[in-house]
Structure 1
């Protein structure tokens, strides 16, 4: 707990209304003491239990469910509104089993394919913010890639038949610098693949990415963005929701609170100005107890 003589940060907001400021600061200080590998293991164990609870709930509601019904209900619960009902039905029929796979393991499966094909990438989105901030559930994995059209066929050959993916959608995504989806037919996990854009911030974010040890025995690596770039990208996404996505905002606060004075303030401020995010960043810093940034 905080020392009685130590004043609480002015403007600080907790991640949950039922958590006191001093208790939350204490929890974040505990998490700061963990290595990235330890944070990854904690997230894997926590998320695996969520998946098991989800399956258990379905089995309780439908005790005589076939594997097709189980897969169908699991897809509806985890993929949510990402696909029409007919797609859920098709996914349910593709395998005779359901493999529970957490987002880190799914990311490692995909990135191993990308690395073999020499396709440059980094894992961003909620997986990255979880590893550098607050643990929370995530509906999928976001991977940013520098994918050229000539790599499409070998990529599809490496992904299929395990992963559902549309070749036309991949080619359209490359042309328009947008994204396409992968669905793992074994775990029903969803992966969003974002094509690297040509504008300055995505380019510098890609240049700054780092290969990080995330699991040991055996050692496994993932290429991840820096905490500063996670914050900036999450603020961009928050703004696209007209400042309404509390999930994105909470992710920003989580990374700020965990990383604290380890962040490159000059870099954050520079790109906040470039991206017209200065006001949002300042508010986020105040709510994270980092008023000295400004």
Structure 2
């Protein structure tokens, strides 16, 4: 066993205690923890921008926020910049988007950094990744019409993604400027078709409006191992997320399921390495 801590300045003993504390939290409590962290950090960022641009130019402030969080690609969209700013977090965004998919009976689950933060080591994330299973293309006009109320959405980008010309399309929440990346599940993607049947619902007792679907711990580990391999095994953030989920979930994981898909996806050795460095 070659246990690897999440950070170089953390001892193995201290880290294991930290994960033991997190393990006592329910899925909903862990989600609230992640949300609180996201809210605090985004509040600080917005306050810093406000102090540097104190003249009430909300459009310029919002543009600066987008540039800091997402680069300049989305910082010139008038529809977003002209909306009054509302301080929100990625979990609120996931719930808003999820409600629309539910209305249209489009199966979905949240994945990416938000899922691994809830199911593993708590960290911040800027965007929200959502996988959808949308086989009926006739829903495209209705989806765009509903989304346009609260989101910037490109009809061309949606059609390209749903017709396999690109891998995803973007949504930008007009008031908060938060972005969601939507990934349609392909007909030949048997793994993600399996993952969507295993999705789980997060129901926050004090905030029922924040309920949304999230992938399982096994599926986020496998997804991130795929991304890690595809990107040349150089992303330390992806690897840290993988180890964080494995360390938090521990023996609760379905190892048989993960073994089956690691073989099918040809990532057996990567999974074994992750087990070794996470102490499993």
TM bracket, shorter-chain basis: over 0.9
2:71 alignment partner, SS class: helix
Which of residues 190, 198, 209 in structure 1 aligns to 2:179?
A: 190
Matched, 1:121 2:108: yes
Please list every run of 5 or more consecutive structure 1 residues that lacks an aligned counterpart in the other structure: 1-9
TM-score, L = length of structure 2: 0.94
TM-score, L = length of structure 1: 0.90
Aligned to 1:31: 22
In structure 1, what is the Cα distance between the partners aligned to 2:269 and 2:77? 46
Q: Write the deviation string for residues 56-76 of structure 1: whole angstroms up to 9, x where unpaired.
A: 221233333510110010010
Aligned to 2:65: 74
Aligned to 2:146: 158
Provide closer, same or farther for how the CA distance between residues 259 and 91 of structure 1 changes in structure 2, counting only shifts above 3 A: farther
Quote the offset at 1:171 in angstroms: 0.8
CA contact (8 A) 2:185 2:192 kept: yes
1:137-286 → structure 2 map (5 Å cutoff): 137-147=124-134, 148-176=136-164, 178-198=167-187, 199-213=189-203, 215-219=204-208, 220-286=210-276
CA contact (8 A) 1:227 1:255 kept: yes
Matched, 1:90 2:80: no
1:11 alignment partner, SS class: coil
Quote the offset at 1:161 in angstroms: 3.4
CA contact (8 A) 1:68 1:93 kept: no
CA contact (8 A) 1:212 1:224 kept: yes
Aligned to 1:3: none
Matched, 1:59 2:47: no
Which of residues 119, 124, 127 in structure 2 aligns to 1:132?
A: 119
Quote the offset at 1:162 in angstroms: 2.1
Quote the offset at 1:95 in angstroms: 2.8
2:202 alignment partner, SS class: strand
